[in-house]
């Protein structure tokens, strides 16, 4: 797998039925919505916490492909080619 590919892991997740029904009623693909929400939340956390080394963590966990796919930041000091959370 190249550094530009995203490796996925399947997990089981329990959600309140009302949340799932709501997302479906809003025309959302539930899985896509949840993946985007998690990726965006992690990108925001990396931007906000001064105690982490964002550049190291992004590289170590190969997060940039997911950030790019889901337009999730991070800020320009990590990668100037990626705009700040345009969709998060």
More confident: 49 or 61: 61
The reported pLDDT for the residue numbered 67 is 84
More confident: 34 or 5: 34
pTM over 0.75: no
Alpha-carbon distances of 9 from 6, 57, 61, 82, rounded to whole Å: 10, 19, 13, 24
Using the Cα atoms of residue 58, residue 62, residue 66 and residue 71 in order, give the sign of their dihedral.
positive
Residue 75 pLDDT exceeds 80: no
DSSP 21: H
For residues 81, 30, 19, 39, the Cα torsion angle rounded to the nearest 10 degrees is -30
How does pLDDT run across 13-49, given as a tens digit for each residue? 999 999 999 999 999 999 999 999 999 888 888 877 7
Contact 83, 71 (CB under 8 A): yes
């Amino acid at each position: 797998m190249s550094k530009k590919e995203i490796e996925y892991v399947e997990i089981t997740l329990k959600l309140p039925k009302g949340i799932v029904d709501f997302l479906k009623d809003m025309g959302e693909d539930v899985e896509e919505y949840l993946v985007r929400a998690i990726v965006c939340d992690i990108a925001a956390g990396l931007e906000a916490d001064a105690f982490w080394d964002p550049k190291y963590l992004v590289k170590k966990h190969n997060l940039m492909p997911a950030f790019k796919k889901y337009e999730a930041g991070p800020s320009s000091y990590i990668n100037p080619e990626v705009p700040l959370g345009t969709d998060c």
